Structure 1
Amino acid sequence: MDYMKEYERWLGNEKLDEESRKELESIKDNKEEIQDRFYQELSFGTAGLRGKLGAGTNRMNSYVVARATNALAKVISSYGEDFKKKGIAIAYDCRICSDEFSKMSALIMASYGIKAYLFDSLRPTPELSFAVRYYGCASGINITASHNPKEYNGYKVYWQEGSQIKDDIADKVLAEINKMDIFDLPSVISEKEALDKGLLVYINKEVDEAYYEKVLSLSMRDDSEVNKDVKIVYTPLNGAGNIAVRTVLDRKGFKNVYVVKEQENPDGTFPTIKYPNPEDTKAFEYSEKLAKEKNADILIATDPDSDRLAVEVVHKGEIISLNGNQTGVLLINYILNSLKDKNLIPKNPAIIKSIVTGDMGTAIAKSFGVEMISVLTGFKNICALPNDWDKTGEKTYVFGYEESIGYNPGVFVRDKDAVSSALLLAEMAGYYKKQGKTLIDVLNELFEQYGYYSENTISVVLEGLEGQQRIARMMKEIRNIYPKQIGNASVSEITDYEKQEKTDLLSNKTEKIDIEKTNAIRFLYDDGCWYTLRPSGTEPKIKLYIYTKAKTMQESKNLLKEIEKTVLDVLYTIE
């Protein structure tokens, strides 16, 4: 794309609103900024759209969102009138322009004769997935940028099962986008006309109550088994989780829930933190102060759209952070033990994780006779399996999770669900508190039983066109110059997900793997340690996932540091 030519086209178009025109005129002498805004179209894929807010083809704005929504409407319509009549559910989070983009999307859908069910205020992402299933919709839209910084917004698309779209649908939407001129889109009916025609319906407490009922049904233990006096500090990080999380905890009888006041109410500027990602322990700064005041047992933070959740535990007076793998294995162990105690482990049970999630959960699941299945990253891939099992009955979904603090313990939502996860974590903390244990005590018991697993995820941020190109070079060249040996361990197996093949270096045999193609590569060493590299699908970064296992935690952590240094040293040589 000729970025300067596209910049001038935008400036010269009479349909460009005045605010956007002034914004673009203000950068007329900043060639680098013009290039960043116009060197490409903001990419649409299975994650929908995500980018910085602002005018330009590589930005989130009303023009880009409107074109994507028109394209989605055409794809829905292509499946016939009966499918079209199912309608679409639309939600949004606390971010800047989220409410504006969601209403615009609803009216565009209504203009195509597609009934839009629009939430009357912000809601958690899992409730959007639930609403798609509740109303039997054809599709869903959620306006959110999840945990990205405040400068970002995004656009997620769901299909009729309530899970995010995969390549088959995303490719059709993209094909329609590519046919459209961003300044030459069909006219849109008014809100009044849409309401009068029954093509716009505002969703209120009916869906909330149905969702809360399902969340509460996930409780694993009787009240008599759980210490409800457990003290919980909770922060929604100024996002969409506040009402839903507090409601289900209260209804389950957890009365000692202390909310961080500075982060309680929705605010898309995220005034207390630069990066509203609960994976980053900096997001817990205010929570930790409150935890010390209240003598709390656990601290829970949900991200701005409340699909992801992080946990810290007070153990012997110290606040200890759990990573996504650790929280996942605690939930797996709690769920499976609870089901086993009640003789309720189902027939053909399965847990699903991503290819970059650790192996400790697999060991625990195996001890209960539960299969662990690995899929590509993203809950669209995790939830694709229960979508299939609904039809085939082949397996029974028990739990799904990712190392990136995403968990789903139920089948009524087909995405990450921080609301359900918060309920189970509170219950789990209360259950073990009644036994005189913290979650750290339980985690240490699991390490003793299954081995000492350590993990780390490193993100190398490389922004702009040059950054994008360097990430591509890194992914290409690491396949040839990877470290053959780290410490005393040698590479024994390479799984190249782009080539869809696995090579055993000891026997020099290569076999095809039954998994969708993606740009990721995994290196397994003969001591059982491994790492995977892949570019992020939503942010300008390359991600390195490292996993180790040893006989002691110190040995496991030492291996982690050694792999990190060795791999990054090689990676940084790729300019």
Structure 2
Amino acid sequence: MFVLEKWIEGVTDAERAELTSIIDKPDQIKERFGTELEFGTAGMRGILRLGTAGMNAYTVKRATKGLADYLEASAKDPKVVIAYDTRRCSREFAAAAAGVLGAKGINVYLFEDVRPVPICSFAVRYIGANAGIMITASHNPKEYNGYKVYGADGAQMSPEDTAAVVSYIKQNDYFGIPCTEVPADFKEGDKYGTIEVIGSAVDEQYFRELDKILLSKDIVAERGKDIKLVYTPVHGSGYMPVTTMFTRLGIQANVVAEQIAPDPDFSTVKVPNPENKETLRMGIELGKQIGADVVLGTDPDSDRLGVALRLDNGEFVSLSGNQIGILLMDYIIMRRKELGILPANAAVVKTIVTSTLADRLAEANGVTVFNVLTGFKFIGEKIKEWEASGEYTYIFGFEESYGSLAGTYARDKDAVAAAVMFAEMMLYLESRGLSVYKRLKAIYSEYGYYVESNSSVQYSGAEAMKEMSAVMAKLRTENVAELAGIPVIAVKDYLNGTVKSAAGIGETGLPKSDVMYYELPDKQFVVFRPSGTEPKLKLYVSVFAKGEATATEKAEKVAAAAKELLK
């Protein structure tokens, strides 16, 4: 009760009623104050509510004070970029973070309005900042918000730097943190001490970088006005940058009018997640009305792109993150080869749970594929490594969860670039008498059908996390020789860093992570990975067959066999 009483005393009069209403509700007290909101390599994310376990102005200020202390100890005259999405309280949290940094005399570059993740990542690099803060909960439900931190390279902070920031955060209280006042109506050009409000000048540099990665601008200029494409920002931060690029390139896309305006409730969708097929429902409806071939949708912070393609019968099919990534990768390699600009040391980076169809496609075209752990920061690390060594040239990176990056101007997923490049690819293929869907089928015809399925097992109760950990421990002790009759040719335990196969025991060569990977013939796999934020065990399956129906049936059988291992 002491912590609750301290908060009741410390919050504003307007906020106090929210806490006094739970004084006699021990379950709610424990829910809000039983833990502190965890600060990891991806920052913080939680439900918007008062308390140490919630996303609120006090947890934001405390985290920012810790970041400020860390920067003062590790950098001379530090600079920080701050951006935010359309979620509830995002602008207020951004202003609060700017105020805490400003009170410490740190130079702050605060965006005047909502911006997507990729512009924040780019801005850190362009300005030469030491860190970046992005207020977003990405595609989570409307009740959530979050606080993402970038390092000087525009990528998520390393585990070592994150641990250092956390040590500083823990030294601070939630109340009494000095804060420079930033008015609610701050606008571009305003200055408040060391806080500068930025906008269009940085946007312009970002748009120039996107222009550089495009590969068929002549075709786009010729055909863009006749494109049959629908775009929806799903009430998020993608509208301005995506439509700006479309307009500059002469692409006349049809935008879902009802989903343009920022809406923290995302009231036209169940959840603003492109992985959910329902998210593109309104876009597909418009697509049917106008006879569009493609529907594109970006999530609230515009780091993930959803796509639906029109079939010959007029219906639409939603693509998986794997399929979107494969199509973009195929286009980049194919077009670079045609233009004679595919580097001899070209490399693609993907996560270990992303389709191995990418490996086959790359190998056939003389491109090297590197697999990294889940999390786009690991893709960013490869870019940084090769920029220093010159050993490989990065041309594309993607993950099955709908994120990709086609350039090195940023270090996080960029759905703005993905949307623009997808439109360019569509026009390029049309100029060759193909549709995007026909090209996807051609890829499968050439390399075989890879079908992926992602699912999860939810655990509940007070011991949920322990139960999930016990299941992972059990998997590590079992000898799994086959799954649905398919032999397991290698078992990769990323927590212990080992690879067990008929050849003996080797090393994974990747950082330690609580992941079990079962390798099957023909680059097929089954992977178990616990969620880092909730008691949910994720299962990834990728199988191969000559035909689509056979591959789909095979995926179902392998997934069922994999789930049996959890019992």
1:406 Cα offset (Å): 0.2
Q: Give the Cα separation in 2 of the matches to 1:90 and 1:263.
A: 25
Which of 139, 146, 150 aligns to 1:147? It is 139
- Residue 192 of structure 2 is aligned to residue 201 of structure 1: no
CA separation of 1:195 and 1:419: change in aligned 2, threshold 3 A: closer
Correspondence for 1:486: 483
1:144 Cα offset (Å): 0.2
| Cα contact 2:121–2:412 (8 A) shared by 1 | yes
Q: How many residues align?
A: 560
Which of 401, 404, 422 aligns to 2:401? It is 404
Correspondence for 1:106: 98
| Cα contact 1:47–1:537 (8 A) shared by 2 | no
| Cα contact 2:455–2:538 (8 A) shared by 1 | yes
The one-letter code of the counterpart of 2:45 is R
| Cα contact 1:241–1:302 (8 A) shared by 2 | yes
| Cα contact 1:308–1:405 (8 A) shared by 2 | yes
Query: 1:39-78 residue pairs with structure 2 within 5 A?
Result: 39-78=34-73
Correspondence for 1:451: 448
Q: Give the Cα separation in 2 of the matches to 1:195 and 1:436.
A: 51
Q: 1:548-572 CA deviation, whole Å, 9 max, x = no partner?
A: 011222221111101222222442x
| Cα contact 1:47–1:538 (8 A) shared by 2 | no
Q: Give the Cα separation in 2 of the matches to 1:294 and 1:195.
A: 43
Q: 1:369-423 CA deviation, whole Å, 9 max, x = no partner?
A: 1111111111111011112222222221100100000010011111100111111
CA separation of 1:5 and 1:456: change in aligned 2, threshold 3 A: farther
1:48 Cα offset (Å): 0.2
| Cα contact 2:231–2:296 (8 A) shared by 1 | yes
Query: 1:211-290 residue pairs with structure 2 within 5 A?
Result: 211-224=206-219, 227-228=223-224, 229-255=226-252, 257-290=253-286
- Residue 30 of structure 2 is aligned to residue 35 of structure 1: yes
The one-letter code of the counterpart of 1:88 is V
Correspondence for 2:153: 161
1:222 Cα offset (Å): 4.1
Q: Give the Cα separation in 2 of the matches to 1:457 and 1:482.
A: 23
Gaps of 5+ in 2: none
CA separation of 1:535 and 1:5: change in aligned 2, threshold 3 A: farther
CA separation of 1:231 and 1:474: change in aligned 2, threshold 3 A: same
Q: Which moved more, 1:158-167 or 1:517-526?
A: 517-526
Correspondence for 2:528: 533
SS in 2 for 1:217: helix
Q: Give the Cα separation in 2 of the matches to 1:120 and 1:446.
A: 44
Q: Give the Cα separation in 1 of the matches to 2:18 and 2:379.
A: 41
Gaps of 5+ in 1: none
Q: 1:333-360 CA deviation, whole Å, 9 max, x = no partner?
A: 1001111011101242111111111101
Which of 157, 169, 181 aligns to 1:190? It is 181
| Cα contact 1:398–1:409 (8 A) shared by 2 | yes
CA separation of 1:512 and 1:114: change in aligned 2, threshold 3 A: same
- Residue 28 of structure 2 is aligned to residue 24 of structure 1: no
| Cα contact 1:315–1:438 (8 A) shared by 2 | no
Q: Give the Cα separation in 1 of the matches to 2:13 and 2:477.
A: 51
The one-letter code of the counterpart of 2:22 is I
Correspondence for 1:559: 554
| Cα contact 1:483–1:567 (8 A) shared by 2 | no
SS in 2 for 1:81: coil
The one-letter code of the counterpart of 1:264 is I
Q: Give the Cα separation in 1 of the matches to 2:95 and 2:461.
A: 31
1:313 Cα offset (Å): 0.5
Q: Give the Cα separation in 2 of the matches to 1:89 and 1:270.
A: 26
| Cα contact 2:61–2:177 (8 A) shared by 1 | no
1:100 Cα offset (Å): 0.4
The one-letter code of the counterpart of 1:157 is V
Which of 367, 370, 387 aligns to 2:367? It is 370
Could you state the TM-score of these two structures normalised by the residue count of structure 1?
0.93
Correspondence for 1:131: 123
Correspondence for 2:563: 568
1:534 Cα offset (Å): 1.0
1:41 Cα offset (Å): 1.2
Correspondence for 2:162: 170
Correspondence for 2:114: 122
CA separation of 1:384 and 1:98: change in aligned 2, threshold 3 A: same
1:528 Cα offset (Å): 4.5
1:19 Cα offset (Å): 4.0
- Residue 299 of structure 2 is aligned to residue 307 of structure 1: no
Q: Give the Cα separation in 1 of the matches to 2:296 and 2:191.
A: 43
CA separation of 1:484 and 1:7: change in aligned 2, threshold 3 A: farther
SS in 1 for 2:10: coil
Q: Which moved more, 1:112-121 or 1:24-33?
A: 24-33
SS in 2 for 1:475: helix
| Cα contact 1:36–1:464 (8 A) shared by 2 | no
SS in 1 for 2:488: strand
1:540 Cα offset (Å): 4.7
Q: 1:251-287 CA deviation, whole Å, 9 max, x = no partner?
A: 11111x1111221111111111221101110101111
Q: 1:77-126 CA deviation, whole Å, 9 max, x = no partner?
A: 112424x2xx1110000001100000110111111111100000001110
SS in 2 for 1:366: helix
| Cα contact 2:500–2:506 (8 A) shared by 1 | yes
Q: Give the Cα separation in 2 of the matches to 1:251 and 1:351.
A: 28
Q: Give the Cα separation in 1 of the matches to 2:217 and 2:19.
A: 60
SS in 2 for 1:179: coil
Correspondence for 2:436: 439
The one-letter code of the counterpart of 1:155 is Y
1:5 Cα offset (Å): 5.5
SS in 1 for 2:489: strand
Q: Give the Cα separation in 2 of the matches to 1:554 and 1:89.
A: 49
1:470 Cα offset (Å): 3.1
Correspondence for 1:426: 423
The one-letter code of the counterpart of 2:236 is G
Which of 501, 505, 522 aligns to 1:510? It is 505
CA RMSD of aligned residues (A): 2.0
Q: Give the Cα separation in 2 of the matches to 1:426 and 1:366.
A: 26
1:484 Cα offset (Å): 4.0
The one-letter code of the counterpart of 2:237 is A
